[in-house]
Structure 1
Amino acid sequence: MERQDEPIAPKQDRSPYSGALSANAEAVRKVAEAVQGTLGPKGLDTMLVNDAGEVIVTNDGVTILNRMEIHHPAARMVAGIARAQQEEVGDGTTTATLLAAALVEEGVKQVNRGVPVAKVIAGIRRGVHFALEKMQDMAQPIWDLEDEWLQRIAYTAGREQEDITELVMEASILVGREKLLNKDFRLSEAVVAHPRAESGVFAGLLVPRGRVNLRTPELDAGVRILVLADDFRPEPVDEEALGTEAGFAKQEKMREAFEQTVLKLIDLDVGLVMVEGEADPAAEEWLSDAGIVIAQQVARSDLDRVADHTGARVLKRNGLKRSPEDLKPLCGFAEEMEDNGRLGRIRVTGGQGKPFATILVSASTEQVIEERERITKDAAAAVQAAVRGGFLPGGGAAELALAREVEKYGDTIQGMEAFGVTAVAEALQRPMAQVVANAGFNPLEKVEEVKALQWKRTTAALGLDCDRGVVCDVVDMGVVDPLPVKYHALQAAGEVSTAILRIHTVVKMRDEVRP
C-alpha cells in the first residue's frame, strides 16, 4: 500500500480523539525526556531533588520515574512500564519507557494524518507482535554459565565495574543453571549492600532481622532451625473471658502449654528460631539461657528463603503443638549460623535444602551504597535473563534491524492498519537514535548510515561505536543485551501505548461524598 507524507484526510475530518491524544502525547513525551538522556554508554545522570533538600543522582530509569513528581494520568501509565519492567526482568526500564513514548508519538502522527484511531491501534498490535516473533528468531542462546558473552552482559549491565561483574558471575555459577532457570528465583534478590561490609559471594543467606535475644560472637556450627510465620507467644484468650474464673484458668492453661513448647525446642537442640511476629519476653529469656537465638520481625519472604535453603517447613503457632518426634523433621538444618550485628543480619550457610548465594557489595560511603546496590541488582537480573532467553545485539542495533523487517511486513498489509505498522517501524529506530544523540553525534545521519549497512551486509549486529562515531559490529565489541529484557520492553510498550491511544477524553472524577 502506497503511503505519502502529506495528510491523507482533510484537517476538518480528523479524529475527534485529537485533543485528548495531543495532551496525552505531550505528557508522555515529558516523562520520556526525564530518562532518555541516561541511555547508552555515554548517557548522563539525572539529579532528583525534593523540598527537604534531599538529593539523588542516578541514571536508573525506574529510580527516576518512581521518585519524580508525575500528575498527568497518561504519564503515570508510561511510568508504570518501568515498574513492570523492573519486576519482570529487572533491567531495560529506560528502553521500555522510550519505546512506549515513541509508539504514542508515532501513533498520534498517523491519527493527525486522518487514519482512524482503531486502525492505528490494530496496526501497532500487529507490528509489535511481528517484531516480537522476529526478535525471538534473532536471539543467540547461552548454554554455559562460563560463556564469555554472559560475562560481557554482566559487565555492560554493571556499568563496566569489574568488581561487580566478578561478584555476579561467581554467584551465578554458585547457584547453577537450573536455579537461574527457575521462574520463582531472582538472583537480584541475593544482592545485599552495606558500607561497612567486605564485598564477596558466599553459599547461603544473609537475612535481615529485627530484634534478637542473644548475640553470638562466634559462628555456631551444625544448627537446627525452626521457622515460624506467626507470633511466638501463648495462644491469646478473649479479654472479656479473662474477667471470669474459667477464662483465667484457660489463660493459665495456655501459658503452661506454651512453656512446654519452649522446653520442647530446648530438648530438640534447636539453635535458631526465626519468627515473623513478636516473641514472648519470658520465652526470650528461657531460650537465651539455653543458648538459642530467636530473631523476631523477619519478613515472610525471608522466612520462605530460609526454609528453602535449610529444608525447614514454615509453621504456624498451632504447628508447635506436635510431638517432638513429629516436630524434629519439620526443622531445617544449616552447617553454620552467625548473627552479624554490624550488618543487622543473620548469616545462614550450608543449608540442607536448596542452594542459595548471597552477593555482598561494599561501598566507600553511605552516599553511593544505594547506587552500587542498584547496579549490582541490574547486572544480576541481566545475567539471569540472558541464561533464560539468550542475547541480542545491543546499542539499539537489534531494534533497528527489526524496524527494517517491520517496514517490509507493513508493505504486505492491505488497508489502513499498515499505517499503524509504520508507527512501530519508526518507534523501533528510537533507541539507537537516542544512544547516538547521547554520544554527541547526529542521530539522523548515523542511524541512516547504520541502517543502510545493516541492509547491505544482511546483519543485525551493526551499530555505532559511541567513542569514534563509526559503524561497527557491536557483538564483536561485546555490546549485547538479554532477549527477555528487550522482549518485555517492547511488549509492555505496545500494550501501554495502545491503551493511551484508545483514550477519547480525560474526565476528572468527583470526590466521594462521605456521610
Structure 2
Amino acid sequence: METSSDAPVVIVREQTRVTSGPEVQQKIIHACRALASILRGTLGPRGLDKGLYKSNGEFAVTSDGARIINDLLIKNPGAKLLVSLGKSQESVIGDGVTSTVLFAGALLDEASRLLRTGVNPLVIVDGYQAALSHALTRLDELEITVAGDDRDLLTQVACTALSGRVAAAESEMFSTMIADALDTVTQQQGDSTRCEAEDVLFDKLEEGTLSDSCLIRGVVWKKRIPLTRMAGVRTDVRIAVLHADLKPPEIRRDAEIEFSEVSAYEEFIAVQEQAREQLAESLLASGADLFCCSGEVDRSVLHKLDAADAMVIADLDEQQLRQVAQASGANVVEHITDLGKDDLGRAASVNAESRQATDEVQDRIIIDGCEGPLVTCLIAGTASADEVIRGLYD
C-alpha cells in the first residue's frame, strides 16, 4: 500500500521499535563484541574450557572455538557474520577460529570508537584495507623457508597446536603420532609434494585411556563380521577390493520358471549350486585372504570362503573401498571375473574383534601395517576422546 507521496507503509506490532543510523551500528558492534568476549577466555595455552548445554540435554566441555560458535544460537545479524567468518576459517585452514573471531571483534571495537568521534565509515574501511595490504607485505618479509621433511619442526608445530587440548603428559605422544602420520601420507610427485588432510583418518577406541591411543597404518571399521568364526588376527594378508556383490547373477524378478518333473527342478538347483562353487573357486584362485566388497554376499559362497580360511567384509561404501585400496595398494575391481593377483593389496595384519552387538557397539576390524599413504589415528579414552580428535584434526 502506498500514499500519495509514494512512500511505502509498513504495518508492524505496537511494541515494535524501528532504529536506524548510528544506533544500529552500535547495536551490531556490541553483539559482535559480546560473541568475542565468550571466546576470549579460551585463547592460549592457559585458556579455560567452556561448558555447553543444549536444550536436548547434551552437555560438552571444550575450549575449541569452532565447536563453541557452532553450538551457540545466534540471532543478531552482525554476530552471525562473525560466526560465518569463523566457519570459513575452520573450513579453509582448520585452525585459528578463536583468534579470527577475537581479531575481528577488536577491529569492530576500534571502528566503534572512531564512529563515535564522527569518522565516516568509508574512511575506516579504507584504513583497514591499507592496513591489510601493509600486513601482507610485512608477512612476506618475515617468511622463513623450512624443509617439508623436518620432523623436529613438525613435532613442535603439532605440540603447539595441541596446547590446552591435552595434558602435557600426552602432548608429546600425540605430537609424535601426527609427525608419523604426516611422514606416511606425504608423497613426492615430481617437483611437488602431496600431503592431504583426507589421508589422515580419526576414530575412537571407546575404551582404555588416552595413553592407549595408537597410529594405525591402514583403516579401522566398525562393521559386523559375517561369521563369528572369521574373527581373530591374521598376518601377511592379501586384500581384494571389489565394487560388486559376491554372488552369482540373479534371475530377473519377473521371470517365471515351470518344472514339469522333479528331476528338472533338482537339476536347476544343482546348476545354481555349481555356479556358487565356481564363483568361490575363482575368488580363492586370486590368492586373496580378505575380500572387501560393496554389495551382498551369498551365504553359500560365504561359507565356502570361510572353509578356505578367507575373510569377507561386505556392505562397504565407495569411500571405504577407496580408503582400503589406497592404504593397501589394491585396485578396486568392478567385476569379479576381472580379479587377478595383480589387483591385490597387502597388510601386515588384520584384527577382527567380535563383540556383543548393541545399539552403540559393533564389531571392530583393524587393517594395519599397510604401505600406502593413508593412516588412522585411533584415540582411546571416553570423555576426552572427541576433544583430542578435534585438536589433532586442527
Using structure 1 for the length normalisation, give the TM-score: 0.57
Tell me which residue corresponds to 1:457.
none
Of 168, 185, 194, which aligns to 2:206? 194
Question: Match for 1:368: what amino acid?
Answer: S
Rounded to whole Å, the distance in 1 between the matches of 2:77 and 2:274 is: 58
| RMSD of aligned alpha carbons | 3.9
Does the residue aligned with 1:243 lie in a helix, a strand or coil?
Answer: coil
**Are residues 255 and 218 of structure 1, via their aligned partners in 2, closer, same or farther at CA, if it must alter by over 3 Å?**
closer
Q: Unpaired segments of 5 or more residues in structure 2?
A: 1-19, 188-192, 258-268, 356-361
Partner-residue secondary structure (3-state), 1:208: strand
Q: 1:257 to 1:162 in 2, by over 3 A?
A: same
1:145 aligns with 2:164: no
The answer as to whether partners of 2:294 and 2:318 remain within 8 angstroms in 1 is yes
Q: How many residues are treated as equivalent by the alignment?
A: 349
Match of 2:343 among 314, 327, 330: 330
Contact 2:297 2:314 (C-alpha < 8 Å) held by counterparts: yes
Aligned to 1:270: 288
Matched residue SS, 1:39: coil
Amino acid at match of 1:30: A
Q: CA deviation at 1:94?
A: 1.0
Q: Which amino acid aligns with 1:367?
A: A
Higher helix share: 1
State the match for 1:97 in structure 2.
101
Question: What is the CA–CA distance in structure 1 between the aligned matches of 2:123 and 2:279, rounded to whole Å?
Answer: 68
Q: 1:64 to 1:259 in 2, by over 3 A?
A: farther
Aligned partner of residue 266 in structure 1, secondary structure: helix
Q: Which has the larger radius of gyration?
A: 2
User: Is the 1:276–1:303 contact (alpha carbons within 8 Å) kept by the matching residues of 2?
Assistant: yes
Pair 1:282–1:242, CA change in 2 (3 A) = same
Name the amino acid aligned to 2:234.
Answer: D
**How far off its partner does 1:145 sit?**
3.2
For residue 351 of structure 1, give the secondary structure of its aligned residue in structure 2.
coil
* Aligned partner of residue 367 in structure 1, secondary structure: coil
The alignment partner of 1:226 has SS state of strand
C-alpha displacement at 1:66, in angstroms? 1.9
Change (3 A) 1:254 1:22: farther
- The equivalent residue for 1:163 is 170
The answer to which of 300-309 and 91-100 deviates more is 300-309
Paired residue type of 1:165: E
Residue in structure 2 matching 1:88, options 73, 87, 92: 92
Do structure 1's residue 351 and structure 2's residue 370 form an aligned pair? yes
The answer as to 2:310 corresponding to 1:306 is no
Q: What pairs up with 1:39-54 in 2 under 5 angstroms?
A: 39-54=43-58
- Structure number with higher relative contact order (C-alpha < 8 Å, ≥ 6 residues apart): 1
What whole-Å deviation, never above 9, does each CA across 1:167-218 have from its counterpart, x for those lacking one? 3324414642871853424575356453237625446124223222145454
For residues 332 and 151 of structure 1, do their structure 2 counterparts lie closer, same or farther at Cα, with a shift above 3 Å needed?
closer
CA gap of 1:175–1:183, structure 2 versus 1, over 3 A, is: closer
Q: Which residue of 2 aligns with 1:182?
A: 194
SS in 2 for 1:32: helix
For residues 66-145 of structure 1, what are the structure 2 equivalents within 5 Å?
66-110=70-114, 113-143=117-147, 145=150
Percent of aligned positions that are identical: 24
Q: Could you say which residue in structure 1 is the equivalent of 2:314?
A: 296
CA change 1:314–1:278 in 2 (3 A) is same
> Match for residue 234 of structure 2?
220
Q: 1:320 aligns with which of 336, 342, 347?
A: 336
* Corresponding residue number in structure 2 for 1:454: none
Moved more, 279-288 or 254-263: 254-263
Partner of 2:253: 242
Cα–Cα, structure 1 residues 42 and 114, in superposed 2: closer, same or farther, change >3 Å?
A: same
Instruction: Name the CA distance, whole Å, in 2 between partners of 1:71 and 1:254.
Output: 64
Shift in Å at residue 59 of structure 1?
A: 0.9
Task: Write the distance in 2 (CA, Å) between the matches of 1:73 and 1:29.
Answer: 13
- Measured in 2, the distance between the counterparts of 1:243 and 1:291 equals 37
Give the letter for the 2:175 counterpart.
V
